[in-house]
Chain A
Amino acid sequence: MQFMLLFSRQGKLRLQKWYVPLSDKEKKKITRELVQTVLARKPKMCSFLEWRDLKIVYKRYASLYFCCAIEDQDNELITLEIIHRYVELLDKYFGSVCELDIIFNFEKAYFILDEFLLGGEAQETSKKNVLKAIEQADLLQENQSEDWGGLAAEEVL
Chain B
Amino acid sequence: MYRRERSILLRGSAAALSNNLSVLQLPDRDLRHFGVVHGPSAQILSSAPEGVPLAQRQLQVKVGVGVSPPLITQVHWCVFPFRVLLVLTSHQRIQMYESDGSLMVYWHALDSGDSSSGTWSGRILVFDIPAKGPNIVLSEELAGHQTPITDIATERAQGQDGVADMVTADDSGVLCVWRSGTTFTLLTRIPGFGVPCPSVQLWQGIVAAGYGNGQVRLYDATTGTLHVQISAHARTICALDLAPEVGKLLSAAEDTFVHIWKLNRNPESGSIEVEHYHGECISDTQLCGARFCDPSGSSFAVTGYDLAEILRFSSV
Is the A/B pair a real complex? no
Residues of B within 8 A of A (CB): none
Residues of A within 8 A of B (CB): none
